[in-house]
Amino acid sequence: MLIELGTVAEWVGGLGGFLAAAAAVVAWRVNKRMLLVEEARDAKLTGREREAQERRRREQAALVFALGAKLPQRGSDETWAIYLFNGSDKPVYNVRVESQRLSGGVANHALELGAVPPGRFVVPSHPTYHWGSLIDLSLLPEPVDLLVKGKGKGMITQVGFVDADGASWVLRSGTELAEGAGDSGARAPGHALEPRT
């Protein structure tokens, strides 16, 4: 029995086929690793994009706040006030400011405004209507003592509003900003009452 080993050309062809198959396996593994690296990079970019989108979404809301205030040049019935600041370039809507008296924590009547344009404003107390008119401090400068320490910093308990994009926001205790909390379904003019996606 004689076993034929084949010609040199057959051996070279067989070795070439084996090397081609090995190269295909190596290329497949390298490609798989590259795909995993690219997916990780894309996930990281997507995370950064989400963070940037979240910052943009919260940008207007973070520029709105209210403080308790005292108007020293007014009579005793209009001494106490609410200072409103909208540092964005768009109005906020359906603003509701909840506050309390400095002595005893008794709740004041809520201040409700349809809109607050960009700027600095003050709303004095009113003996009959609880709160007076919104006064633009850039047009009618008036001395305002902001209550930012001691019992005064706790005068404003909650501020709710809707931003220009129609998202509802609540600012609690002057520092805790949350989206949608306490949403009554109100939206900025021109926005549908459908939930945001």
Q: What is the pLDDT of residue 70?
A: 92
What pLDDT was estimated at residue 3? 64
As a whole number of Å, the end-to-end CA separation of the chain is: 79
Mean pLDDT of the chain: 84
The pLDDT value recorded for residue 71 is 93
Helices (H), the chain: 8-62
Residue ranges of the chain with pLDDT lower than 70? 1-3, 5, 104, 181-197
Model pTM?
0.68
Domains of the chain: which residue ranges? 1-60, 63-179
Q: Kindly report, residue by residue over 111-154, the tens digit of the pLDDT.
A: 999 999 999 999 999 888 889 999 999 998 889 999 888 888 88
pLDDT at 197: 39
